[in-house]
Amino acid sequence: MKKVLVLHTGGTISMVQEDSGVTLTKHHPLSESVNIIPDDISIHTEEIFNLPSPHITPKEMLFLKERIQKGAAEGYDGVVITHGTDTLEETAYFLDLTVNERMGIVLTGAMRSSNEIGSDGLYNYMQAIITAADAKSKEQCVLVVMNDEIHAARFVTKTHTTSVDTFRTPTFGPIGILSKHEVYFIKEVVEHGILDINRVDGKVVLLKAYAGMDTCLFDMVIDSNVDGLVIEALGAGNLPPFVLPKLKEIIDKKIPIALVSRCSNGIAQDIYDYPGGGVQLKQMGVNFVKGLSGPKARLRLLVGLNAGLKGSALNDFLTI
């Protein structure tokens, strides 16, 4: 008998549609759904939070990480976290960075509340439990299961505001599928460094580049005494030349800068050698983070700083 710990955190999967809009309920719609679980899996359920996902912060993510570690010590084979979809990918990636226990860890959610026609929550929940209990999932780091697809937390993202097919992995695609409640992995997740942190202190901010960008946002970064900066740059990793003096000022203050592309496909690289191009930015000391979105690069930098990484060790962690 496989044992799976289920942690409910809120989100649409725990909500109902009312005349005023979709709203949280006091009684979780999935709490009576044990009859859908396969006979060879036992579950223990905890409602650890009841929050819309825009209310989730790294502090809640850290609490989940600690509960998962406790669950591993209690002998669970896997963990399922039900979560609102707006920030699900960020919680998944935070756990991917910080949990080293070898167990199936799966996040899932819903795009339609429990009383809407075509509600997807119960089905996603069942498939997530099956995936978490599967022995093969222990080798795949943290996973997101939605709409019969299995995605790696590192690269998955929400691509549509309302569609049940919203979670995709740009460039790389899903790493597995579910068919008739069977788990099939078609790819393996590459290890990318795990840090067991116990705090999430500091301020790491995220800026998105745009045509004609000036220095006002960089002035705010300098005045706010931030601990780290992430930039979603243009194209392969370029910035308007007007911001370079302020960028250098930030670098001179020893504030680490991580750079990703604002494009949804591809990776950031130092290709172009013109003022503001990637070649110049890398020479200035900007860290090019490969394949991550801005929000995930922000979490990676935050985790690295809270692990005490500095200088070349932090640079190596960011650019794996």
Which residue ranges are tagged as binding site?
A: 53, 85-86
Active site residues: 12, 85
- State how far the alpha carbon of 235 is from the alpha carbons of 228, 289, 294, in Å: 22, 14, 13
- 137 in Cβ contact with 78 (< 8 Å): yes
Please give the Cα distance from 310 to 206 (Å, whole number): 19
Q: Are 15 and 23 in contact (CB under 8 A)?
A: yes
Binding-site residue set for substrate? 53, 85-86
